[in-house]
Structure 1
Amino acid sequence: MLELTFNYCLSFPGVTAEEKWNEEMCFSVGEKLFCSMRVNPPYKLSFKCTPDKFHSLIARPDIVPMPYLARYHWVQVKHPTTLNWTELQSFIQEAYDIVVGMMPPEEREAVLKARV
């Protein structure tokens, strides 16, 4: 699942990946983080979400508020199999869209043009 997630995150326009912190692969667009995953055990995945989804996600087993980023509506999935692949894709897409939507108009336009 990690390789699938890695490749899926990189499939979006304008995304860069960089290893930071303690073995965390961080995925950003326009230098803004939208998803991160631990590359060695214990595997964990974190992503940005909407306030409504934040509360419903942390009510699920093995999903917690992301340390240091929860106030920005980030969740941490403690085990890779907590979410099925279709669900995970949807959450990652939404995280990407949230970050792109917060970009200044000219930067967002450049990223969206790269989609075509």
Structure 2
Amino acid sequence: MFDHTLDLCRSLPAVITEKKWDNELRFYVGEKLFCMISLEPPHRVSFKCSQNQFHQLISRPGIVPAPHLARYHWVQLKQEDTLPATELETFLQNAYEIIVSTLPPYEQEAIHKMKAHA
């Protein structure tokens, strides 16, 4: 599942990655962070979500407010398999879309063109 999660995040249009502190991979779109995955087990996954999703998610076992980012509605899965793969995929795509929606219009337009050609 870990490789699937990495592949999904990398496959989204205009995503760039950055390795931090040798044990975390960060995913950006338009220079804004939308997801972080620890490279060592138990592969914690942190991502941006809506305010409603934030409160629903942190009420579930194994999901906590993300350290240092919770005030921006970020959650952290204590391990990658806390959520079923399809549900995690939906949340990651949603995190990506939330961040894309905050980008300047010209960047959003370029990303939408990339999606159309994919």
- TM-score computed with the length of structure 2 as normaliser: 0.95
Gaps of 5+ in 1: none
- The share of aligned pairs that are identical, in percent, is 52
TM alignment of 1:22-33, pairs within 5 A: 23-33=23-33
1:42 deviates by 3.1
Structure 1 distance, partners of 2:16, 2:56, is 29
Aligned residues between the structures: 116
SS in 1 for 2:13: coil
TM alignment of 1:83-98, pairs within 5 A: 83-98=83-98
1:4 deviates by 0.3
Task: Please tell me whether residue 11 in structure 1 is matched to residue 11 in structure 2.
Answer: yes
Task: Please tell me whether residue 80 in structure 1 is matched to residue 80 in structure 2.
Answer: yes
- TM-score computed with the length of structure 1 as normaliser: 0.96
Q: Would the aligned equivalents of 2:42 and 2:80 in 1 still touch at CA under 8 Å?
A: no
Q: CA RMSD in A?
A: 0.9
Structure 2 distance, partners of 1:49, 1:21, is 24
Gaps of 5+ in 2: none
1:18 deviates by 1.2
Aligned structure 1 segments of 4 or more residues deviating by more than 4 angstroms: none
1:21 deviates by 3.3
SS in 2 for 1:76: strand
Structure 1 distance, partners of 2:99, 2:21, is 21
